[in-house]
Chain A
Amino acid sequence: MRDTTQELEHWLRAGGRRVGQILIAPAGEGWELRHTDDAGREDLTVFSKWEDARAISNLDDAGAFRPLKTAPSLRHGWRLVLPDAHSVRLSLEYFYPAMLGVWLAHRDGEVKPVDLNHTLGRQTGMYRITQKLTHEQAQRLIAKQCRSNGGCLKTILWQISQGICVPLLPPEKFRADATAADTMPLLCQEACNFLVAAARKMVKDESPAVPPTP
């Protein structure tokens, strides 16, 4: 059985310090987390429970909802002090849901990336229409929605379909080994619901209008 908390503790004690926009540092017997932009700040609001991560991560600096937690819009101005690696693990499940588990699974060879055409191909109901997304539309969509600057911080492990990449984004956006040694990569094994929903909108918006029945 994997012990995710123990794996995280090993990583932290070996010098792991960054996850997405979060900086982690030793604090007494435990650990403290803060926004990377807030390094060195003394005027931060201090929180002390892992459950506080839920409210911290739910809204951005302007108070807008962050449905995609890997969007580069983490709120500033807080410092979360936690007693142990278990609490850090639980807080990371709010800050960056699933990212710790996907990283460990990827390391262990358990992650099988799913190409976009397969993800869209299995959609039903309101998302079935996304199967009409062309490769050209997919290129534009991914370049806009998944870009690290303003879209999503994850590293993309999948392709549009076998051999069809996304040249509009930099090559390191697709390399799981491109992160620094002290940084836990945020890995995307498959297009998320946000991208599928955006694909639906693009297909609907860009479809030729059907003339009204006379």
Chain B
Amino acid sequence: MFTKPDSALVIAGHGSTLNPDSSGPTLNLAEEIRRRGIFGEVHCAFWKEEPSLRQILHCVDREEVYVVPNFISEGYFTNTVIPRELQLGDAFTRVGRHAVKYCEPAGNHSRMTELLLKRAAEIAPGVPPEKTTLFIVGHGTNLNENSAVAAKREVDCIAALGRYREVQSAYMEEAPLISDWDKLATSPNVVVVPFFISDGLHSYEDIPVLLGITPESPGAASANVANVFAKNPYHLRGRTLYYASSIGTEAGFADVILDQVAAFDASHAA
């Protein structure tokens, strides 16, 4: 693994004004990468929490700054919000005293397929994939047509392996809607893996309601005694349903962030 003592790393996340767990995975990543001593300094920045994307460069001592979006999809946030708020013009931009290198989002990494399969297998041990429909659930938004692309790409990769009877993408805000899971799936077993960074507002409070496994939002995961994941499997609508934790909480994500830095250097080598 490389070392960059003269460079800073900024991991850019979404954050939340409502859910205390949303920023957790991004903060965990920063702590883990800081412990490894690879960069001279490691920071986080958020859209909805602080330090904000507008503030963060004031906090960075070193001139060279790698920014890795800890986002699942290349879409509205990675193409519009983060570049705008950081005042980036391109993959490499000088902003004041900083030279900013804008890397690919974590969710674009090729290891996502492996991590999703690992999650799906762990949440439904002993359940035969050939009798199972696997859903990869994304946010989906009409703000950017790329937002749903990441989930579709992973579905294609997993389907090509031929392990699961069906592999489908579904979304919160655009069709096919995850709330229609029982109409979309034809298998007796259904495994749902949220293609999200955190067990925050969407994956822990919204999607369980859309699936019908809780009548109302269970509240934040960290404050929740009746853990949604501990109640697997759910028997409803004539199926056996398994609901997994968000993919962004996987331990392998620190290496994914570092790989995106290495990939930036490889693709922008002189």
List the interface of chain A (C-beta within 8 A of B).
1-4, 51, 54, 58-59, 63, 65, 67-70, 93, 97-98, 100-102, 104-105, 110-111, 114, 122, 124-125, 189-190, 192-194, 197
Which chain A positions have C-beta within 8 A of B47? Answer: 193
B63 proximal to A (CB < 8 A): yes
Report if B59 contacts A (CB, 8 A).
Answer: yes
Select A65's contact among B19, B56, B84, beta carbons within 8 Å.
Answer: B19
Other-chain contact of A194, B17, B19, B61, B62 (Cβ < 8 Å): B17
Partner of A1, one of B16, B17, B58, B63: B63
Among A2, A98, A102, residue most surrounded by chain B Cβ atoms (within 10 Å): A98
Given the complex of chains A and B, what is the CA–CA distance between A102 and B51 in angstroms?
10
B residues sitting closer than 8 Å to A (CB atoms) are: 15-20, 27, 31, 43, 47-52, 54-56, 58-63, 76, 80-81, 84, 96-97, 143, 220, 223
A1 to B64, CA, bound (A): 11
B55-A189 in contact (CB<8A): yes
List the 4 closest A-B pairs by CB distance, nearest first: A101-B59, A98-B51, A98-B55, A105-B58
CA distance A111 to B62 in the complex (A): 17
A58, A101, A194: the one within 8 Å of B60 (CB): A101
With contacts defined as CB atoms under 8 Å apart, how many contacts are there between chain A and chain B in the complex? 79
Separation of A63 and B52 alpha carbons in the complex (Å):
24
Given contacts A1-B62, A114-B54, A193-B52, 11 further A-B contacts (CB under 8 A): A59-B20, A65-B18, A69-B50, A93-B59, A98-B52, A101-B56, A101-B60, A124-B84, A125-B76, A125-B81, A193-B48
In the complex, how many angstroms separate the beta carbon of A151 from the nearest chain B beta carbon? 14
B223 touches A63 (CB 8 A): yes
Q: Are B50 and A97 in contact (CB under 8 A)?
A: yes
Report the nearest B residue to A70, measured CB to CB.
B50
Among the interface residues B19, B49, B84, which one has the most CB atoms of the partner chain A within 10 A? Answer: B49
In the bound complex, CA of A189 to CA of B48 (Å): 16
What is the bound-complex CA distance between A13 and B60, given in angstroms? 22
In the complex, the answer to whether A101 meets B20 with C-beta atoms within 8 Å is no
Contact A65 B20 (CB under 8 A): yes
Say yes or no: A125-B49 contact (C-beta < 8 A), given A2-B61, A98-B58, A105-B58: no
